[in-house]
Structure 1
Amino acid sequence: ANAFVAGFIGSPAMNLITAPVSGGQASLGNLKVAVPASAGASAIVGVRPEGFKPTGAGQGFDIKVDVVEELGSDAFVYGKPAVSGIQLANANAEEGAQVIVRWDPKNPPKAGDTISVTADSTSVHLFDFQSGLRL
């Protein structure tokens, strides 16, 4: 599999986030993801919307909320990275650059809020920044 295919499978699609790599870790703000030595200076970190989990303020990947889509048993939060230096690899002209997070519909954030999320290693997919191939 590669990042190109991962960005199309599923609805909503996988979040593909370009992150700087240092000391064997890709950094999404305070969310650190272990990467292989072959990763280079940047890696693409892939996480499906349901792979993100809420964490304490400032303890993970901070996202500025643009819109919350409430769908009864689910809520999807759409937002932008609140940390500079992080870009979305699957941004397009139609949707713009948005991170999508599945959220508890009983306690959704509001537009303008900043949420902090984490992801366990089983929810993270890593791709080479240059080739897009899975690491």
Structure 2
Amino acid sequence: MALLWPQRFELLLLAAAFLCGAVAAATLTRTQGSFSGCCPLYGVAALNGSFPALSQPSAPSVCYFVAGVSGLLALYCLLLLLFWVYSSCIEDSHRGPIGLRIALVISCVAIFLVLVSACILRFGTRSLCKSIVSLNITIRPLLG
């Protein structure tokens, strides 16, 4: 069955949301691992010798929340993407009103959680960057 352009656009958006969620979750988890499990969001940087280090990390649950929401969004979008690709190729299924309402409710909850996570990321990284800038570290070019 050939897909109409709005359905193709929806599948493209689901694929993009899956990639964004997966990359965000993996990146934040990797960053937290680089700081020995401490969450750098809302953290305060200090000089450890001549290198900047995290002196006051925030609670790890902040990073867990953001990574968890991103991971759940990625999983939801991947499952929805696979379902609609399967149903459009194998079956001749149409969306019923109940299925649309359920998807709408789940999407509204997901959008709310993503907005909360985006605010945490924005203000948390801003706080960390301000503390790094306040250290007045001068970066010298490497002379070869």
Q: TM-score range by the shorter chain?
A: under 0.3
TM-score (normalizing by structure 1) = 0.22
Structure with more helix by fraction: 2
TM-score (normalizing by structure 2) = 0.21
Who wins on radius of gyration, i.e. which is larger?
A: 2
Structure with more strand by fraction: 1
